Each structure stands twice: as C-alpha cells, then as structure tokens.
Structure 1
Amino acid sequence: MIRAILADDEPLALELMKKRLAHFQVEVVGTYPDAPSLLKDINNISFNAAFLDIDLPGISGLDLAVLIQDEKPNVQIVFTTAHRDYAIQAFELDSIDYLLKPILKERLAKTIDRLEDKLNLEKEKEPILSPQSSSLYIQCFKQFSIVCNNTAVKWKTAKIKEVFAFLTLHLDKPVHRDILIDQLWPGHDYQKAKIHLHTCISYVRKQLEGFGPGNTLTFAGQQYTLHLHDAVLDVSSFEKLSESVSSNNVEDVEKVLLLYTGAFMEEEAYEWARPKADELSAKLIAILHRLADYYEQNSLEDKYIGCLHKILQFNPYSEHIVTRLMLGYAHLGMRADAIRLYENFEKKLKEEIGIHPGKETVETLMHIQQGQT
C-alpha cells in the first residue's frame, strides 16, 4: 500500500490532493505546510512516498527531497508545481514523477501506477546475483573500474563513478556528507552540490542492487558507509602484503606486485586520490627494495636486475640504485651495459636537474672500466 506525506504551503492544495489520493486508496499519513514541520516529524511516521510542492517557503521542495532521501533512501518522490522550469532538476533527483498544477485526475492515475510498480518492484525484486554466483572485482591501480560477473560496469556519468571511487577508498568507513561535497565539488554552491551528490548517491545505490545482496550504501548521522560483500580489490590485496620478503612468501609477493599496473587511480586524475597514491607508491618501492635484496642474496641475477630497473622507474635519480645496477651488470659480464647505463644516467642528471653523478657512482664506473669488479 502507498503511504504518503504531502507538503504544500497552500491549504486548499493540500486538501484537494488528499481527497484525490484517497480515490486511489493512497493513505495520507501526514500533511505539512513547510519543510521544517515535515522534517521535525520525519522519524515519527512510516511512509513510502512524498508529494512535494517545489515552491515551498524557505527550504524548497527540491532541497527537501534531498533531506528526505538522506534519511529514508527508499522513499519515492513526486514533485508538484505550477511551473515547468524545474523539470530537469526534479528528474536529476531521481524523482518518480513531476506533476504540473492544476493536477488532472487522469494524470494522477499514471503517477499512482508508477508508484505501485516501483514499490512492488522494490519489495519483490529478486537479487540479480547470488553470493555463490557473484564475482565482483574492483581495479584501483592505474584506473578505477569494476567488473561484476565478468561484465564491466558502465557509469551513467563521470561524477557518479567518482563518488563510487571515493567511497571505495573509504570502504566500510563512514564518510561525512560534507566531506564528499568538499572533495568532489570544491568551490561549488553548497545547496547545489548537495543536490548533485544526492543524485549520484541514488545511482550508486541502483548500481549496488546489481552487485547482489550484502552490497549496500548506508546513511546515518550525516555519514555514508559503503559495504561490499565478497568483493576483490586489487589495492586491498596489495595493502595486506608484508614488506618483508623471504623464501616463505616471495612467490606471493611477486604475484601481488603484478597488480600494481600504475599509480592509484592514476588515469582518473582525482585530486583527492593523490595522498593514497603516494602512500601506495612508497609501499611499492619499499617492497621492491626488499625483493631486490632477496634476489641478490639468493643469486637470482636476472630477477635482481629487473627489480632494480623497476625501482629506477619510480626514482630515476637514485644514484644508489644506478650503482647497484652497474655492479649487477658487471658481475654478469655485461660491462658495456653498465657503462651505457652510467652514460644515460649522467645525461639525464645534466639535462633535467643540472647536476653531475656523485663520487661513488663515478668511482664505480672507473672500476668497471678497469675490469676491477
């Protein structure tokens, strides 16, 4: 059954809507002349639909819809207004309908049909995926992408994708609504940004429905918390990796390092992702150093050389790594490669930062040239 609340600053409009809804067996559980009176009562009544006049005094019907759905995400919103100008904004808020006054009985009947279909769908819908068949993989390195049941998720807008990415960064941790607004809509009008956020949140929740049970976005105390059931995240596997390397875990370390295909959400260019990207990059370099030491100690020359080159990609001005590489080449009898590495490094330093290789690096070159290594 549809249990509705009505908000309109015109008493006659409220009474007329109440009578018309009664004709369709809609139970009206509350009528309000403004947003504050409705919000004061919101947690004391049970309702699944809200008919809101857009032109409410003070807090508009559009903003009121955001506040209602923050508290009760499953409530269906129907806007009423004497103006056509708000149609786009109304549907951006994922409202189920938009009624122009004066509201005709035939038009209201279509709205009721939509409400009944939607509410029955929400109640009876079978999960698209079961926990047994669900396969949810989230890639955060290089780009942000989600594959569910072997199908790549397509995003309605780039901003919806960014909201999901931000919540994924804070998986299972509450994020205040204002932090989301500050980070994703910096410099924007707060009220407008809040509406945009709510629109994105609605689509995120719809996306989660397709991921199967246990995948939810909850809201409490002005904070959103994303929960993902049995999801596999490349970044989570990487973060769990120990920085120590031994014969007991070297194979696991090598496999997990393959997940690092680029910096954290590098291709998305999210400003808020930079601190996390720096943190993970530092961890990667630390692990690579331990791995290089392990390869050297166990005389795994090829892997040792490859690992040092990997480190050099992240720190191209490291004389310590260049020196180790030169010696590694020399020990393999590859003196020409060691000398070429030095020459390229010397050129890079001069052209890019205007300095020369240090004393230890130059002396290493001389020893290699003289066949002393």
Structure 2
Amino acid sequence: MMRAMVVDDELLVVEQVNRMLVHAGVSVIGCCVNPHEALGMAQALKPDVLFLDIEMPELSGLEIAERVYADKLDMEVVFITAYNQYAIDAFRVNALDYLLKPLMEEELQRTLERIENRRPHLGDVGGSGGQRRVVAELFGKFTLYLDSGLEPIRWVTAKCAELLAYMLLQPPEKEVSKWELFEALWPAQNAEKAGINLRSTVSRINKTLRDGGSAMSLASVKNGYRLVLSGEAPAVDASEMELFVLDAVEPAPDNLVHVEQLVHRCSQPFLQEFDGAWCEPYRKQYRHYFLNLGRKLLLYYESTEVEPLKVLRLADLLVEHDPYDETLREAALELHHRLGGSQRATAYYEAYTELIRTELGALPGDKLTSLLRSLTE
C-alpha cells in the first residue's frame, strides 16, 4: 500500500487531503503543519510520496523539496498550490506532479496512478482491486464516509444517523435488543409505536447504505438488531481514541503526529447533534479519554523542545474541557508568563479567579497562587 505524508500550514487543508487520500486507499503515515518540522519528519517516516504545499511562511515547499532531493531521500514529491504560476518551479525541482487547490478527486487519482507507475511495487491504489475504508466520525457532528465518495452520507431522518451512531458504539457483532433501542431512541413512545419507528428507521438506514455502495447493514435478530460488517471494520474516531487510552499509548517521536491529529479531531463535542439521555454516559467516558490523552501530550511537549505557543494552544484546549483543573491552569500560567511576562500571567490568573468566584464561589488554590507569586516577584 502506498504511504503518504502531507505538509500544509493550513490545518483544514491537511485534514481534507488526508481524508481524500484515505478514501483513495492510501495510508497517510504523517501530517505536518509546521514546515520547519517537515523535512525531519519525512526523514523519519520515509513515505513513498510527500504532498507539499508550496506557499508556506518562512520556508516554502519548493525549499523543502530541494532538501529532499539534495539528501537523496527515496520519495516522490507532489506539490499542492493555489497558483498555476508555480508549475514551472515545481518541475524545476523534479517534482512528480502538482495539484491545484481546491483538490479534485479525479486529479488526485491521476497523480496516484502516476506514482504507482513510478513505483509498481506499491500495487493497486484506489482502483477496483483496492479496498477503501469506511470512516465514521462521532466527535462533532456524526458523519459517515462510504467507499463511493468524499461527501458524507446524507440521512433521510435525524433518527437514522442517531441509531447508526448508537450501533457503532456497541461491541462488534453485539445483538442489541429492541427494548434497549426503544429506551434509548424513543423513550416517550409506547412499544407499538416505537417498534414501528425502529423498523422504519432500520429500513431507511439499510437503503441509504446500499445506495452508497456499502455492504454494511443492520440485520434483524431474534429480539433486536446487530450491525453487520463486510470486510474491513469502519474506522471510528471514538474507537481509535479508546484504544490509545486503554492500551496506555505514550506520545513519542514515531507516533507524535498521529497523537496530535487524534487530540485535535477529538476535541469537538461528542455526539454533538444528539440530545438523547443515552448520549450522556458516552460523553463523560470519551471526555475522560480525550483529557487523558491530551494531558499525556502536554507532558510530552513540556519534556521536549516544543515551541511555547504550540504548548499553550494545547493547554488552552484542555482547559476548555476541564476549566477548573488547576494542574492545567498551572501549566497555562507558566506558558503565559514565558510568552508575555508578569503582566500577561497576572491577567490570566485574575480572569481565572473571576471565573471560579462567579461560578463556584471559590478562590484559586494555594499552589496556583504561589506559582503566580514566584513568577511575578
């Protein structure tokens, strides 16, 4: 399978290219938004192809490509640019291809075929013989991407999305009783009406999945339903987060980009658009997982030479999810002091003091207060 790395200083572009490559059957082994880190990451990960934005602050994609070829790294370079005029420069540094923003699926597919022709050992990429993953995102708005396209599935009703999300959170092949589904999704209805709604919703889900070219379905069993998977199981962000936490994975140079992406992706509200009571235990559980992995990443940043503003962004992100955790506040306070001195640190402390006085009728802990005193004396 082809292995790719994506470099662009715009996170949204990185995520879009990453998603397009995954749907084309490519393994994205690394993403980078800091051009200064790109070359070292490429040297460590050794991708088959490096997708490079040309226009980046301080260090352009053209300069990175020149270093790639000067260092004789065995990888293809494909430029991503919003401007046609860079084409000549792209080929001057021996790039395989260049793609114009916004990326089109057809253009990307042609580029991947060119790479395969240059590197026949990679096998089929995105063709009829290659299997593409089904991707489900439960953080933020629930979305499901099927084999047949880059656009998420459009559900006939909101209950279709909610029922499938519920089933994706169950253990593989688990049979879920209709009574459990009644209680979760139609708690105010009697059994007869809930049963009619359940059967109708299942039928609509299965038709939508079939129309999208997926072999996944909800199958009727004796007293309920189970999710039937065909081939590779869906890639579910919640499952990936859970595995990282339960397997006690620690951030390290070889998985850092993956951990950073996972923390960023999973910082959105879990099951955002659903208001059923069944969601609350899952929200608590995955908030715990997110904070667990986020704190590990913060500790890793603090133990390595990471740019302070990047560390502060992560600390602030974690504080949004746990605003009264004073260990996180201590880390943020020190970073504010490093970046802006005593005045900025004091302003941050005073804003937090006002927050907990208003919402909790409390004052900051002694440790945080002592830290401010030691930083500003």
Shift of 1:175: 0.7
2:164 corresponds to: 164
Deviation for aligned residue 1:141:
0.8
Q: Separation in 1 of the partners of 2:260 and 2:363?
A: 35
Alignment of 1:357-372 (within 5 A): 357-370=364-377
**Cα distance, 1:330 vs. partner?**
2.9
Conservation of the 8 A alpha-carbon contact between 1:134 and 1:212: no
Moved more, 174-183 or 216-225: 216-225
Aligned to 2:80: none
- C-alpha distance in 1, partners of 2:235/2:137? 9
1:257 to partner: Cα distance: 1.9
Q: Quick check: 1:277 aligned with 2:283?
A: yes
Rg: which structure is higher?
A: 1
What runs of 5+ residues in structure 1 fail to find an aligned partner? Answer: 1-128
SS of the equivalent of 1:307 reads helix
Q: Deviations over 1:265-292 (max 9, x none)?
A: 1222232122112111101111111111
| Residues 195 and 312 of structure 1: CA distance in aligned 2, closer, same or farther (over 3 Å) | same
Instruction: Name the amino acid aligned to 1:361.
Output: L
Determine if contact 1:138/1:147 at 8 Å carries over to the other structure: yes
> In the alignment, is residue 334 of structure 1 matched against residue 341 of structure 2?
yes
1:237-248 correspondence runs (5 A): 237-242=240-245, 243-248=249-254
TM-superposed deviation, 1:235: 2.1
Q: Give the one of 130, 134, 139 matched to 2:137.
A: 139
**Corresponding letter in the other structure for 2:253:** S
The CA distance in 2 between the partners of 1:363 and 1:274, in whole Å, is: 37
Residue identity matched to 2:265: L
Contact kept? 2:142, 2:271, Cα under 8 Å: yes
Matched with 1:322 is 329
Cα distance change on mapping 1:322 and 1:269 into 2, 3 Å: same
Partner of 1:294: 300
Change beyond 3 A, Cα 1:130–1:213:
farther
Show the 5 A alignment for 1:235-274.
235-242=238-245, 243-274=249-280
Q: In the alignment, is the contact (CA less than 8 A) between 2:241 and 2:289 conserved in 1?
A: no
Secondary structure at the counterpart of residue 146 of structure 1: strand
Q: Deviations over 1:149-169 (max 9, x none)?
A: 123322222222222222222
Distance 1:322 1:351, change over 3 A: same
RMSD: 2.3
CA distance in 2, matches of 1:308, 1:261: 12
Whichever residue aligns with residue 312 of structure 1, its letter is V
Query: What SS does the corresponding residue of 2:265 show, helix, strand or coil?
Result: coil
**Counterpart in the other structure of 1:304:** 311
Number of equivalent positions: 242
Instruction: Tell me the equivalent position of 1:154.
Output: 154
User: What TM-score results when the alignment is normalised by the length of structure 1?
Assistant: 0.60
Q: Look up the match of 2:208.
A: 207
Counterpart amino acid of 2:235? V
Shift in alpha-carbon separation, 1:154–1:219, aligned structure 2, 3 A: same
* 303 and 259 in structure 1: CA distance in 2 versus 1, 3 angstrom threshold: same
- Per the normalisation by structure 2, the TM-score is 0.59
d(CA) in 2 for partners of 1:273 and 1:131? 38
The answer to whether the 8 A contact 1:349-1:355 is kept is: yes
Q: 1:247 to 1:312 in 2, by over 3 A?
A: same
CA distance in 2, matches of 1:178, 1:224: 11
Q: Secondary structure at the match of 1:345?
A: helix
Change (3 A) 1:339 1:213: closer
Q: Is the 8 A contact 2:139 2:265 kept in 1?
A: yes
What residue identity is the alignment partner of 2:370? E
Counterpart of 1:189? Answer: 190
Q: Which amino acid aligns with 1:241?
A: F
Q: CA deviation at 1:325?
A: 1.8
Q: Does structure 1 conserve the Cα–Cα contact (< 8 Å) formed by 2:336 and 2:348? A: no
1:350 to 1:249, Cα distance in 2 relative to 1, 3 A: same
CA distance in 2, matches of 1:166, 1:291: 29
Give yes or no for contact 2:184–2:276 (8 Å, CA) kept in 1: no
Q: Distance between the aligned counterparts of 2:132 and 2:300, measured in 1?
A: 38
CA contact (8 A) 1:329 1:338 kept: yes
Give deviations 1:204-258, integer Å, cap 9, x for gaps.
2212212435312222221311124443322233223254222332222112223
Aligned residue for 1:138, secondary structure, equals strand
Q: Percent identity?
A: 23
The code of the aligned residue for 2:305 comes to S
Distance 1:216 1:131 in 2: 22
Matches within 5 A, 1:223-242: 223-229=224-230, 230=232, 231-242=234-245
Distance in 1 separating the partners of 2:291 and 2:214: 38
Residues 245 and 253, structure 1, Cα contact 8 Å, conserved in 2 = yes
Contact map agreement 2:318 2:328 (CA 8 A) in 1: yes
